[in-house]
Structure 1
Amino acid sequence: MADRDRKGAPDAGAAAPTEAMWTALAQGLRRDIGVRAFDHWLKPVRFGNFCEDTGTLTLFAQTSFSANWVADRFLDRLTLAWRSVSPDVTAVRIIGAPQRAELPVAKLPAAPAANQGTPAANQGEAMSGATTTPLSDTGLFAFAAPAPTAPATLPNLDPRLVFDNFVSGRGNILALNAARRMAAVERPMFNPLYLQSGTGQGKTHLLHSIAHGLLAVNPAANIILMSAEKFMLEFVTAVRGNDMPAFKARLRAVDLLMIDDLQFIIGKGSTQEELLHTIDEILGAGKRLVVAADRAPHLLGGIDPRLLSRLQGGLVAEIDAPDLALREAILRHKCATHHEAHVPEEVIAFLATSFTRNIRELEGALNKLLAYASLADTAISLDLARDRLAETARGARTRISIDDIQRAVCAHYKLDRMEMASKRRAREVARPRQIAMYLAKTLTPRSYPEIGRKFGGRDHSTVIHAIKTIESLRVADPAIDSDIARIRRALEV
């Protein structure tokens, strides 16, 4: 060490950097930058080696992209931290893990008790005792679930979203049973599983439940649950960072891949192509795949025919809007978890008939009522519910979606809803479709391109033409005007 040509000599008693020092430093960094940022970016970093001749300490990240990201944002902090414990360190560099490198694991203690109760804190605690396993034949390492294999690839699973808390009814029993099969030890009879429903009907609950269920029977399962937006973001980042091998390896090494809001990928050619190859790899290896979207596969405008065939090759399970019986059952189940509050049956009936569009809205109304009663120290009654939720209930009745409009138009004209996205131009189909487009623009805030996508991926000019046509017909044809008025009444607008 004495022959190094550097300014200043190190302290005589200073120790060379070691893996144990990194473990201690990592815990301090976790407190400084926060659990979420640490667990996503610095947790996977491993102690590499130290060059005594140059004073350079090397740390390993899982991928080149991760190394560049950490270096850009944390290199100065890491350098100062290392110098504080080992003055021999003059520089710190972070590189992607070399192929087949057996990197040591820095195990961290659990997060402080004060952080418990938040998803990020709970995720950090779960990761503290995680082990690592190689990703196929690459040199990258993935934490066994529930810890993330790489930044943002695994969610902070919500402990409340489990099968036991999912209230079933006629409209969702198929999806629930299919999700349970997907989470069982035995290989599912159908693969992939495609969950279809509108917003707030339970897709996300089932996705989290599948992950919890599979981890219960196979704690070592490698699970990725990500949104379609996250898939696109990571794909584009990997392309720009010349890191596609790591991106592919991470996704294709899973035991279960789940992608939510698939509709946001459709139309992106290169992203669809990569998703197609990923699906082929996963299904070919006998692994499990679950996707969720707000519409059926054939209604995904602009979808690659090859991708469509893969998605339709398993089971498409639709979750219908909750009927009155299911809405009441959900409210009773929710009330049972609030032992300190008594909710009369007449209040449950009021809520179930006032909030009919989705479960999230229904539960939100109940939570608002429970919170007011608790803070005001008053009993829950029908009068209180009507008084505190009147404006919210009016908003719930007037907020409609394009799906609602399509259902109402098809019911009025006795058409199969698939005709809304079909290419048929017969008048008995084309006219109701134009009316639905007109109502979509009149009754919702959606743009012309958004409306076109909901009608089989039609161009915005087609939507504009439909709207102008119906506006003219309402003036010239009383029957058309009467039909539209009846449909609007059916929508309670």
Structure 2
Amino acid sequence: MPLGAAGPGGRGQLPELDRAAEPGLAGGGVATLVVPTAFLGSYVARNFEDDILAALAQAGAPVSRLIFAPQARAVAAAPVTAAPAPALPPEAPEGESTRLDPRLTFDRFVVGKSNELAHAAARRVAEGHTGFNPLFLHGGVGLGKTHLMQAIAQEMRARQPQARVLYLSAEQFMIRFVSALRDRRMMDFKQAFRAVDVLMVDDIQFIAGKDSTQEEFFHTFNALVDQGKQIVLTADRSPVEITSLEERVTSRLQSGLVVQVNPADYELRLGVLQSKLASARAADPSLKIADGVLEFLAARITSNLRVLEGALTRLCAQGNLVGREITLDLARDCLGDVLRHSDRKVSIEEIQRKVAEHYHIRLADLVGPKRLRSFARPRQVAMYLAKTMTSRSLPDIGRRFGGRDHTTVIHGVRKIEELKVSDAQIADDLDLLRRALEA
């Protein structure tokens, strides 16, 4: 018994009943009605259930209880003409993702230590495994989060052409929500977003502080999860670090798999450059680049991968336009502004703050007099980083750590140099902290 969409305004005209389907759907005092979405079924049940029961009784089919079944779970025993699912907004045609860059695929994503977990989780989701729901990727600018999002969307579209995959930014979600409110088309908005198979929202932190948008996203999130639909989200920080998010929204965002995409290390940066150069040479076989240029760029440009790729693009354009080999001298001349920006000096205060955050201790305890191991080891790590990442003298570093003597700094630096060889955890901590500070 297919059920058309009921209007949102009060108790209007009842949906027309398909009498041919009644014998197969009504029996034992129970009638099952096919609805496009679970949300629409709940709405009709709240507003029209009594009227439908009365109409069935008047038509000679006394029924005591109604079951509203979404199309995917509809009873197949009787011939049913399924009601069409609500159409997505014009920006997202049925069965397609929007704003997808064909270059952003899994094949062109370079995997390294800093992003291997995010890549593996994205692959699993794209293959149809829904154990990670939602999948929440977070990290700084230019680290590959959007690349992974678009790769998931394109892989899903290739595997399941009929799947309704909707990819958009949080800003686009908010704009459509506000437009629906203004045009009094909230039911269309709700049905459209609840009818997708996969919802992907980029930069979700932008809904923070926007109460009405948060509330609608929360209900959309719940409706899709209840239907077993996949959700993928990205942000520039973890859910608990996004201020002005409602507690219930934060809790929902943490209910799946939260993965941090860390700043790229030297090996990953070099791998990204090699991959991009291979694509450039495929388009222009005459492109010449001297040995050591890629290594130079990977070592000097550490801010993010987007800036790194842009630098190589500029070099390739320069070499192509002037017909010259790309040498180290040409790279220094052409990328002077980028290199100067990448040479930002790290301060001891920044190092102390990052180390305290990493080890979850107070900054006052890091630089204070307490000699507990839980404070002493992070303090030595901070001293080591201050010695290796700044040009400050040992006495100056000691003064920044609560007025300690330079011999204390020397001892701390030597201790960390020994531990980073024998203690894998210390080595990982140093690597992560250095990359975070360089970024």
Please report the TM-score for the alignment, with normalisation by the length of structure 2: 0.61
- Aligned residues of 2:92 and 2:166 also touching (Cα < 8 A): no
- Aligned residues of 1:297 and 1:312 also touching (Cα < 8 A): yes
Give the distance between the partners of 1:380 and 1:231, measured in 2 at CA: 44
Give the distance between the partners of 1:286 and 1:294, measured in 2 at CA: 26
Cα offset for 1:148?
2.4
**Equivalent in 376, 387, 405 of residue 322 of structure 2:** 376
Give the distance between the partners of 2:290 and 2:108, measured in 1 at CA: 21
Amino acid aligned to 2:113: R
1:385 and 1:275, CA in 2 relative to 1: closer, same or farther beyond 3 A? same
**Pairwise mapping of residues 27-176 of structure 1 onto structure 2 (< 5 A)?**
140-142=86-88, 148-149=93-94, 154-176=97-119
Give the aligned partner of residue 389 of structure 1: 335
Give the aligned partner of residue 263 of structure 2: 321
Give the aligned partner of residue 126 of structure 2: 183
Give the distance between the partners of 1:396 and 1:149, measured in 2 at CA: 44
Secondary structure of 2:343's counterpart equals: helix
The structure that has the greater radius of gyration is: 2
**Equivalent in 300, 304, 311 of residue 354 of structure 1:** 300
Give the aligned partner of residue 249 of structure 1: 191
1:290 and 1:492, CA in 2 relative to 1: closer, same or farther beyond 3 A? closer
1:407 and 1:206, CA in 2 relative to 1: closer, same or farther beyond 3 A? farther
User: Which of 1 and 2 has higher RCO (CA within 8 Å, sep 6+)?
Assistant: 2
- 2:315 matches 1:366: no
Give the distance between the partners of 2:144 and 2:269, measured in 1 at CA: 12
- Aligned residues of 2:171 and 2:207 also touching (Cα < 8 A): yes
Moved more, 379-388 or 277-286: 379-388
Cα offset for 1:492?
7.8
- 2:202 matches 1:260: yes
Cα offset for 1:256?
0.5
Give the distance between the partners of 1:430 and 1:273, measured in 2 at CA: 43
- Aligned residues of 1:141 and 1:149 also touching (Cα < 8 A): yes
Provide Cα deviations, 1:100-120, integer angstroms capped at 9, x if missing partner. xxxxxxxxxxxxxxxxxxxxx
- Aligned residues of 1:199 and 1:294 also touching (Cα < 8 A): yes
1:281 and 1:396, CA in 2 relative to 1: closer, same or farther beyond 3 A? same
Secondary structure of 1:194's counterpart equals: strand
Cα offset for 1:407?
6.8
- Aligned residues of 2:352 and 2:366 also touching (Cα < 8 A): no
Q: Aligned residues: percent identity?
A: 40
Give the aligned partner of residue 228 of structure 1: 170
- Aligned residues of 1:176 and 1:206 also touching (Cα < 8 A): yes
Please report the TM-score for the alignment, with normalisation by the length of structure 1: 0.55
Provide Cα deviations, 1:367-413, integer angstroms capped at 9, x if missing partner. 0000000000001111211121122210233399xxx999733345x
- Aligned residues of 1:258 and 1:290 also touching (Cα < 8 A): yes
1:492 and 1:154, CA in 2 relative to 1: closer, same or farther beyond 3 A? closer
Cα offset for 1:155?
1.9
- Aligned residues of 2:288 and 2:324 also touching (Cα < 8 A): no
Give the distance between the partners of 1:166 and 1:158, measured in 2 at CA: 13
Give the distance between the partners of 2:217 and 2:348, measured in 1 at CA: 31
Give the distance between the partners of 1:342 and 1:228, measured in 2 at CA: 42
Provide Cα deviations, 1:435-487, integer angstroms capped at 9, x if missing partner. xxxxxxxxxxxxxxxxxxxxxxxxxxxxxxxxxxxxxxxxxxx647999xx99
Give the aligned partner of residue 179 of structure 2: 237
Give the distance between the partners of 1:399 and 1:157, measured in 2 at CA: 37
Structure 2 residue ranges without an equivalent (≥5): 1-39, 41-81, 369-398, 410-432
1:160 and 1:491, CA in 2 relative to 1: closer, same or farther beyond 3 A? closer
Give the distance between the partners of 1:338 and 1:352, measured in 2 at CA: 17
1:386 and 1:427, CA in 2 relative to 1: closer, same or farther beyond 3 A? closer
Give the distance between the partners of 1:283 and 1:172, measured in 2 at CA: 26
Give the aligned partner of residue 146 of structure 2: 204
Cα offset for 1:266?
1.0
Secondary structure of 1:416's counterpart equals: helix
**Pairwise mapping of residues 301-340 of structure 1 onto structure 2 (< 5 A)?**
301-339=243-281, 340=285
- Aligned residues of 2:106 and 2:151 also touching (Cα < 8 A): yes
Give the distance between the partners of 2:348 and 2:148, measured in 1 at CA: 26
Count of aligned pairs:
297
Structure 1 residue ranges without an equivalent (≥5): 1-98, 100-135, 432-477
Amino acid aligned to 2:307: E
Provide Cα deviations, 1:270-328, integer angstroms capped at 9, x if missing partner. 11111111111111100000000000111011211111111111101111110000000
**Equivalent in 210, 220, 223 of residue 278 of structure 1:** 220
Give the distance between the partners of 1:399 and 1:226, measured in 2 at CA: 37
